Amino acid sequence: MSNRIRSIFVLLFILTASLALPVADAAPWPKLLQKNGTVLLPAQDAPHLLTNKVHKPGNRSIKAYITYPGGSIEHVTPQTGLMLSIHNWGGKAASGAPSPTYLASNYNVVAINVDYIQSESRHKDIPYDFGYLQALDCLRALHYVFDGLTQQAVAFDSGRIYSAGGSGGGNVALMVNKLAPRTFACIIDLSGMCKLSNDIAFNLPGGSRLNARYSPLPDHIHFLTEDAQALRFVGHPQHLKQMQALGNEAQVVVSHGISDSTCPIGDAREMVANLQTAGFTVDAHFISDADIDGKIITNTGHSVGNRTLIVNKFAAKYLLVAGVQAATRKGKTDFENRDELVKYSTPNGSYIISYKQGYPVGRFEPVGQQ
């Protein structure tokens, strides 16, 4: 391949990866499951997968796992909420995440797990998404349940929508709140990644052991734009202001070990400080030796302990229907607003999350095209 042809190819990749231009869903949305089970849902195209010929336009799908209280839709009541439980980097279903059965039965929620893009460590030869399309995938699964219950006239509590995740799932749990800032009442981050730092993005020494496989070189096919990197910082000060302007009310719960070097504790402290400065309500628990009880909390590292029981320890008061600080949200969700007001400015343009179709569709608009 000549240098000129390679340069054109690289530029096309960079452009499409930044724009994340959607195409129409190739497959129709299936009807809502009536009992616990799995379902395939249409997903937004991933430009980097298209460029690497991993899939064809319009045929990407995600698997969602639905767990009802009592095992079926018949047990959904007007007090029942919805809750994402999001797995870790390279996992699937509920790996490294709170148990969906526990969540459904203890907090009266329809629990939703999602095999989002790059689950099960697939596509190791391309950069790790790090929260953007992964969050859109999870939001589509959430919309599937939300819209399905609505269409079937099954009463539920749309003010009780929650998200929890561990490690990479903690990152996605925070990102769904960013991409749907008018939807969630409570977010629970369990040892999550807080930003796509240079050491993680480019596998630099001295930081996290995680390697997202990007390149800092503009002519490289896996070049990381400053726009894409900015979007993936869940504690981005300007973006937090934009979330607040849209009326974000989510209670944020953070559990993070002080010895965590996989998802560095310094990043977690920075995110919490930024959230608090921006006016968010944050319940942060930085786990030290004094917190170890041998059952729920077993270490101060990355795993910390039993993530299902950690949710109960730190967040039950927000999740229980009759909790002393029960987290609820008033007003229409992003799914119901059906607009394009979710917009985050980055150095060279803006990321826009469109809800005109009910479910989210993300795109990047460069400066001059807005």
Q: Which of 26-30, 192-196, 209-213 has the lowest mean pLDDT?
A: 26-30
Q: What is the pLDDT of residues 103-150, one digit of tens each?
A: 999 999 999 999 999 988 666 778 999 999 999 999 999 999 999 999
pLDDT tens for each residue of 64-80? 999 999 999 999 999 99
Report the distance separating Cα 209 and Cα 203, nearest Å.
Answer: 8
Using CA atoms in the order 162, 191, 234, 333, what is the torsion angle rounded to 10 degrees?
0
At residue 12, does pLDDT exceed 90? no
The pLDDT-based confidence of 25 (bands split at 50, 70, 90) is: low
46 vs 218 pLDDT, higher one: 218
Least confident of 52-61, 81-90, 94-103: 52-61
Mean pLDDT for 338-348 is 97
The beta-strand segments (E) located in 174-264 are: 186-190, 251-257
User: Can you give the pLDDT at residue 9?
Assistant: 42
Provide the pLDDT confidence category of residue 206 given band limits of 50, 70 and 90: confident
Helix (H) or strand (E) holding 277: helix 265-277
Residues in the chain: 370
Task: Name the H helices within 258-306.
Answer: 265-277
> Measured between alpha carbons, how far is 187 from 250 in angstroms, rounded to an integer?
7
Rounded distance between C-alpha atoms, residue 97 and residue 84, angstroms: 10
pLDDT of residue 21: 47
Query: Strand, coil or helix: what is 283?
Result: strand
pLDDT of residue 125: 79
pLDDT of residue 110: 98
The reported pLDDT for the residue numbered 6 is 45
Give residue 59's pLDDT: 75
- At 324, the pLDDT band (50, 70, 90 cuts) reads confident
Once rounded to an integer, what is the mean pLDDT over residues 281-286?
Answer: 98
Q: Is the pLDDT of residue 2 over 60?
A: no
Calpha distance 202→204 (Å, rounded): 6
pLDDT above 70: residue 4: no
Q: Chain-wide mean pLDDT for the chain? A: 90
At 27 the pLDDT is 65
Dihedral sign, Cα of residue 290, residue 291, residue 294, residue 300: negative
- Non-local CB neighbours of 236 within 8 Å, separated by 6+ positions: 195, 230, 274, 344
If we measure between CA atoms, which residue out of 137, 135, 155, 134 comes closest to residue 146? 155
Query: 0.85 exceeded by the pTM?
Result: yes
Q: Is 336 exposed, middle or buried (0-12, 13-18, 19+ CB in 10 A)?
A: middle
49 pLDDT band, cuts 50/70/90, is low
Instruction: Give me the residues paired with residue 42 across strands.
Output: 61
- What pLDDT score was predicted for residue 196? 95
In this prediction, residue 67 carries a pLDDT of 98
Please report the pLDDT score of residue 203 as a whole number: 93
**Which superfamily is assigned to 3-366 in CATH?**
Alpha/Beta hydrolase fold, catalytic domain (3.40.50.1820)
Averaged pLDDT for residues 192-196? 94
Q: In Å, how far from its chain's centre is CA 299? A: 25
